[in-house]
Amino acid sequence: MPEGTVTQSVPVIVGVGQASERIDDPDYAALGEADLAAAAVRQTLADTGADPAAVVAAVEVIAAVRSFEKSSPAAHSPFGRPDNFPRAVAARTGMDPARAVEEVTGGQSPQHLVTEFAAEIAAGRAGAVLLVGAEAMSTVRQAARSDGDKPDFSEQVGGQLEDRGYQIAGMVSVEEVKHGIIAPPTQYALLENARRHRSGLSRSDYVRQMGELFAPMTTVAAANPHAAAPRAYTADELIEVSSSNRMIADPYPRRLVARDQVNQAAAVLLMSEDAAAAAGIDRSRWVYLHGHADTVEQPLLARPDLSQAPAQPAAVREALEMAGLTIDQIDAFDLYSCFPVAVSVIADAFGLAADDPRGLTATGGLPYFGGPGNNYSMHGIAEIVQRVRRTPGSHGLVTANGGMLSKLSVGIYSTEPVPWRPSTSPALQAGLDARPRVPLCRFPDGPATIETFTVTDPDRDSRTGLVIGRMADGSRFVGAVDPRDEALFTRLAGEDDPVGTGVWVRSAPDRNHVTVDEATMDRLHPRRPVGFRDSYEDVLVRREGRVLEIVINRPQSRNALSPKTNDELDEIFDAYFADPELWVAILTGAGDKAFSSGNDLAASAGTGALATPANGFGGLTSRRDKPKPIIAAVNGYALGGGLEVALACHLIVADPAATFGLPEVKVGLVAAAGGLVRLPRAVPEALARDMILTGRRLTAPEALAHGLVSRVAEPGDVLALAREVAAEILAASPTSVRESIAVMAESDGQPDTVTAVRESLSVLDRVLVSSDTREGILAFVQKRAPRWTGR
């Protein structure tokens, strides 16, 4: 062999195994995830047909699918879990691999891991890799309901672990969380109803189509010893709503929804051909990966057509092309089947019928076999491997879906030997990423049309209606149906398709509201009158001539802003800008400790942290038009959102003890209320990056030296200084002040200075015809103080 030649190892699957238990089984043992996974691994070792000791000794890597108990920041383990799940499983089965991996969140992960580590084996970086995953959700929920002793699944294992984190960015957005689009049935119902609209079918006809798609799967599940619900159903039994088959999220009754209360585990063992031969594994056990692909769909709210997910059929086509096959040459399928639309998006693209004699599932499908979290497709792979072994030379195809049709990993399997083929997905993904995206309207207001919808728990008092719609300009919004709007709920529940019909939408700090028409919106959500209240809960307001003084009055929390505080400040600034008698505003904090320490995380727990007025944090940070000056009198801490509010003011004056900083990175957040944009424009960029990336704080003298503040007061006199500055502004022409503010705002994003100067000359057209200009010139000539009118 010539020097420098690199030989390629060919990866093969040599063992698969599954384990399961049902609560009503006679031998139910209430196993935790690690014990259940170990049982699947032992089955996998036995499936190789070789000496288990020889196989165990060869394993260099163990990679685990992420459990649902670790799949998001909101997830938790009520009865504990191993600190190193892969090594906990390895220890139970006599392994001591050099490398342990915990994969990212998503149902795509089992197939993605097969593809990834097959490539590692092909490159010679590993000889044997064990993939494993498990869920014991049924046991956990049973224990939580029981009054008896609680299990303890916690375990300190330690050792090396490559924890890849959640990586769920793009699979959920702030708008979706604000409006409760979190549970998978709700998410998929929106996609399903969009597909119903594209199909042109009535509600009843479409529901029947879903039942006919899934009924054949129940027959497969009924014959599968690992199925969580091993019973065959007719299409009618799947779709008829009853007390045992209640409607969860329109159009889904319970029997069409993935079943997550399961105790199931599965494992797959990959080896190089050489390692498999050395371990004594017979070639009849070897299964090759003929084709594979991985794609990512656009985020939900950016997709041009919510009824389709082009990245999914694209991945299947790519895998088929790699394998040199057509869909007609596939002998067995396991299509990811969490909800009907997940199957339909593939079946539609390739002309697969519900009664295809090959069947669309090898397990029985997620609603009937069970949906063990992210690990379902490990079971699908195990079943397909067994099928192609039983019919040598046949081909089986697995699709593994994650998120809201967000990620798809595809594998095509056969006993027929083939060389390893590296991934071609990056080029495919580049084309998918280049597709146009729909703009998002976060604060919609006015007439709109329904694009898709769902109603969750429609037969209960807790029902909620959700709409994704389009504004007149084509932008997309998410909105919640007002529970009191019976007319809109009736429209959504009708036999006629509501998609494309008109509604009215209006934004609010916590969510966008959707009603059947404008009159209903004005009745249920009347616009807030513009003006000052007699008093506020979190804010003090004082008028002194033409000056408005606003005090954030929450000294007990260092003037941190709660959702209520934000709402009150937003209302006050609306009133200030609308009041022609007020020309200058001063904003400060109560006490001497803080101007504002930012967001009150305790008061904003849960989705409340996302409840911000359309005008932004403090009613200022996203406000487009601030035509009259605001002075921030910083009397202590201006941290996080507090600094962002100050940066949104026109001038900042400070007490010598004031402190300025953006500490968000220290608590896992970012300064998204303007700090990332405004701070680099207010201070030298190098300093801004230092403050943003490290949380560095500036003292008042430092802030003055770098231009963040314009003046520093004597100790304890910052409000007095702010009043002096306000008096200086009042001595100037209010018309000139406002027009100057407008021109500065307009030129803020203009990169070409000369162009900005030329365009700013138009301000003279407005100023020179004002009464204030005439008065200013006359007062100068007459050597007297001008009497400004603001006109």
Catalytic residue IDs: 644, 664
CA torsion, points 444, 447, 451, 454, in degrees to nearest 10?
80
Residue with tokens 């999220």: 249
Nearest to 131 by CA among 68, 44, 39, 50: 44
Q: Burial, 98: exposed, middle or buried (Cβ in 10 Å; 0-12, 13-18, 19+)?
A: exposed
CA dist 644 and 68 (Å) reads 36
Closest CA to 155 of 84, 64, 214: 84
Both tokens of residue 266?
């599965």
Kindly list the strands in the beta sheet with 11-20, ordered across the sheet, starting from the edge strand earlier in the chain.
Answer: 11-20, 263-272, 128-136, 61-64, 99-102, 162-163
DSSP 704: H
634: β partners: 654
DSSP 253-294: EGGGS-----EEEEEEEEEEHHHHHHTT--GGG-BEEEEEEE
Asked, as a colleague might, if the bond just before 458 is cis with ω within 30 of 0, I would say no
Distance separating alpha carbons of residues 738 and 729, to the nearest angstrom: 11
Structure tokens at 175: 């708008």
What CA–CA distances, in Å, run from 475 to 81, 174, 451, 663? 44, 17, 11, 34
CB 678 within 8 A of CB 632: no
Rounded CA-CA distance 369/356 in Å is: 19
User: Which whole-number Å values give the CA distances from 308 to 137, 304, 351, in the listed order?
Assistant: 31, 9, 15
Instruction: Give the integer Cα–Cα distance in Å for 110 and 383.
Output: 13
Residue 178 DSSP code: H
What is each CA distance from 116 to 37, 170, 602, in whole angstroms? 21, 21, 42
Residue 299 DSSP code: P
Residue 209: phi, psi to the nearest 5?
-60, -40
Local structure of residue 674 (DSSP, 8 states): T
Q: What share of the chain is helix, strand, coil (3-state, %, to 5)?
A: 40, 20, 40
Q: Which helix (H) or strand (E) holds 680?
A: helix 675-682
Terminal alpha carbon distance of the chain: 91
Residues 682, 709: Cα–Cα separation, whole Å: 9
* Segments of 159-313 assigned E as strands: 162-163, 247-249, 252-253, 263-272, 288-296
The upper half-sphere exposure of residue 79, i.e. CA atoms within 13 Å in the direction of its Cβ, equals: 21
Q: Tokens standing for 181?
A: 């689009």
User: For 438, phi and psi rounded to 5 degrees?
Assistant: -85, 130
- Could you tell me which residues are beta bridge partners of residue 162? 101
Q: What are 426's two structure tokens?
A: 């990056």
In sequence order, what DSSP letters do the residues of 725-764 get, joined into one string? Answer: HHHHHHTS-HHHHHHHHHHHHHHTT-S-HHHHHHHHTTHH
Check: CB of residue 267 under 8 Å from CB of residue 400: no
Q: What span, in angstroms and rounded, lies between the C-alpha atoms of 647 and 640?
A: 11
Q: How far, rounded to the nearest angstrom, does the alpha carbon of residue 51 sit from its chain's CA centroid?
A: 46
Cβ(551)–Cβ(590) under 8 Å? yes
| Strand, coil or helix: 565 | helix
